[in-house]
Every structure is written in C-alpha cells, then in structure tokens.
Structure 1
Amino acid sequence: MLIRFLPGNQRFFRLFSQHAELGVQGCRELLLLLTHLSTERELRAQNVEAAEKAADRITRQTIELLKRTPVAPLHPDAIHKLVSVMDDVLDLAEDTAQTIYLYDIKRVTPAAIQLAEICVACAERLEEAVGLLVSRRNRDGILRLCEQIDKLESDADHVMRAAMSRLFRDEPDTRELIKLKAVYELLEQITDKAEDVANIIEGLVLERSWRG
C-alpha cells in the first residue's frame, strides 16, 4: 500500500515531528528556568511560551490538513487526538513556567528539578517515537519507547509523593508551601500527559488502521 507516500500524508509525519521537537524544546527551557531562577526566569518563561505558541500553530495546520486529506495515514480521530494531547504537554509546560514567573518563585527544590528532568526525558522519547511512526518496520522500537515513557511517569509519581511529604513536613512558610505544591503538581501532570501520548501511539501501532 502506497498511502504513506502521498504528499499530504508525508506532511502529517513532518508536522508530528515538528510538534514533538517543540515539546522537547519547551521542556528543556522549563528545566533551564528552574535551574537559572535568579538570572534567566523571564527569558526562559518567554521561551517556553514561544514553543507552546509555535506548537499551537502546528496543531491547527495538522487539523486543516486532515480536513483536506481524503485518505490519511492514520485514522482521522487518531490524528486529531494525537496532536491534541501532544499540545497538552506544552500547555502544561507553559502553565508551569507562568506559575513560576507570576508567583515570583525565587527558589525551588532538587525534587522540582528532578521532575523537570523527567519531563525532558519523556519529551525526548516522545520525539523519537513520533519520528518512527512513518514506518511499520519501527513497531518494536516505538513500543520500547512507550514502555520507557510509562516507566518515567511512574518515576515522577514516586518523586512527587516523596517531595510532597517533605514539603508538608519541613516547609514552615505557608505561602512557599502553596507555591511549591503547585509547581510539583504541574510538573507531574506533564509526565501524565506524556504517558497519555505514549498510550495513543502504542494503540496506533497495535491496530490495523496504521498505514505507516
């Protein structure tokens, strides 16, 4: 079947990859924001926002292309769901960056940085998995990456639970506690959404409608 070689269908895969690349960029900028709070907070928050806005444009382009494509390489509902949930990852990254900036958070814990590192790892594996969707020959590699993302999300859960326990036990300033709690929760939600994307990808490669 030559469906994947049609010009419009090749463009779907390029758009998926561009979106995933922006996901990596946004999560890396978020990590840099957390590790350079005193010197680069505004710059890094702006960079995360820029990545999110660029991804929004790609999401709209993908949906418009879907409307014009009679035979897509994936089921239309799957394409819409995939790009929408990928967009959720960057939405949450932007929410996290804006929370840090608007709450004027001046310090974060090692746990917050560890969670951000896990977010980056999830985004990198999503980028790799999305890039492999172009061919059925990549099925096993895609599934391995999805398993890795699932493991990373579990790691994030463990990090957040331990961080929350320390926060409520050791933080005397109620305002700081509220701020850090919000950051922990948003970072963990990024990994949740990354796992959601991985689950969508996993479902795609396991069903017969995948025409890659």
Structure 2
Amino acid sequence: MFFGKLLPREGNFFDLFNQHAERIVEAGRAFSQLVNHYSDSRLREQYDREVGEAERAADRVTHEVNRQIHRTFITPIDRDQIHQLINAMDDVADLLQDAAETMALYDLRSVNQEIHQLTDLAVRCCERVKDAVALIGKLADGPTAEAALKTCEEIDRLESDADRVMRSAMSRLFREEPDVREVLKLKAVYELLEAVTDRCEDVANLIEGIVLEHS
C-alpha cells in the first residue's frame, strides 16, 4: 500500500485525450487543405508537412498517456479502456499521414470528386471524435452522457456515408479508368480515407462503452 501512495491516483488522462483529439482535427484539416490545393505544389508540400507535424504531436501525446498508465495507481476509467482509446485515436492520425504520404509517393497527379467527398467525411468524423472525447470526463452528468452517445451515433452515420461513397468510387474507378496504374493509386487513397472513418467509428464504439459503464 505504501508503494501505491507514491503514485498519482488519477493522472490527467482526460486532458491528454483532448490534446490528442485536437491534433487529429489539425491533421484532418491540414489534409483537407492539401486536397483543396493539390494543383499547387508549394501549398501541397506545406500542408503535407502540417499533416506530419500534427501526427507526430499526436504520437507524443499517445506516448505520455501510455507512460502515465504505468505510473498512475488509480485511473479514472479502466486501464484497458484508456489504452484502447488512445491507440484507436492514434490510428486515426496515422492513417491521415499515410494518405498524404501515399498521394506523394504514388505521384498522384490530381484529385477527383470522390477524394474530395471522402476527405470531407473523414474530417467531419475527426471533428465529431473531438466533440465526443471532450465529454467523457463529465459522464456523471446525465445530459452530458446522452450528448456523448448522440455524437457517437453521428460518427456511425458519417462512417456509413463514407462506405457508400467508397463503394460508388470503386465501381466507377474499375468501370471508367483505363490506366491500371491510376486504378492502383486511387484505390489505395480511397481505402486509406475510408479507413480513417472506420477508425473514428472504432473510437466512437469505445466511447459508447465507457459512457454506458460509467454514466
């Protein structure tokens, strides 16, 4: 018991979750700007760097959360929930960086309507993740818990919208694009952007579990 008294009892996990969610939104918005200014190589490189900077900042927050898990005697929610949540959130940032890097490495010459649509849905999912994360530190309040669940439901709907855009985009790609190289490039980008919304849905599912257990 003496050892337990030497360790922090709560930690600042909710603050760190919020910091990470902010980095996710920064990465998402920077990626959106990259897509919107894709024809300008200078701006494209600038926003690509911003995506990478946000992802690295998110990694640092993830590292701090995992460090605090081992240093905190009593955590505000279950340790496994903390670990799963921060790593699912970190996957979102990683996937956004992967999408930006893939577009550069594959030398994608231009972006189409489907990439714009998937990007918009991915950014909206990231923003809703930030909203949901901001609520989990106040789950003792009934209306707050309900608001968190509604936000998670919205993330689920956005992910379903991304699924539909993805299926339509793939169908059109294989029907209309004659260049096999372009098919492979676009398919990879579509899959990464849809994966961003998938992982946001995973975050939402984890938050729903936390809400139901702790509210």
TM-score of the aligned structures, taking structure 2 as reference length: 0.91
Deviations along 1:61-116, whole A, 9 cap, x unmatched? 01111111111111001001100010000110010000011111121111111100
Check whether the contact 2:9–2:74 (CA below 8 A) recurs between aligned residues.
no
Check whether the contact 1:41–1:101 (CA below 8 A) recurs between aligned residues.
no
Q: Which moved more, 1:40-49 or 1:69-78?
A: 40-49
Residue matched to 2:212: 206
Check whether the contact 1:8–1:65 (CA below 8 A) recurs between aligned residues.
no
Which residues of structure 2 form unaligned runs of 5+? 1-7
One-letter identity of the residue aligned with 1:139: A
Distance 2:33 2:178 in 1: 27
Q: Structure 1: which 4+ aligned runs deviate by more than 3 Å? A: 7-10
Q: CA RMSD in A?
A: 1.3
Q: What is the total number of aligned residue pairs between the two structures?
A: 203
Alignment of 1:91 onto 2:94:
yes
Q: 1:106 aligns with which of 85, 89, 109?
A: 109
Q: Compared with structure 1, are the counterparts of its residues 66 and 10 closer, same or farther at alpha carbon in structure 2 (3 Å cutoff)?
A: closer
Alignment of 1:149 onto 2:149:
no
One-letter identity of the residue aligned with 2:18: S
Residue matched to 2:170: 164
Identical-pair percentage: 50
Residue matched to 1:17: 18
Distance 1:142 1:33 in 2: 30
Distance 1:8 1:85 in 2: 24
Q: 1:188 aligns with which of 189, 194, 210?
A: 194
Residue matched to 1:129: 132
Alignment of 1:176 onto 2:182:
yes
- Per the TM alignment, residue 9 of structure 1 is displaced from its structure 2 partner at its CA by 3.4
- Per the TM alignment, residue 10 of structure 1 is displaced from its structure 2 partner at its CA by 6.1
TM-score of the aligned structures, taking structure 1 as reference length: 0.93
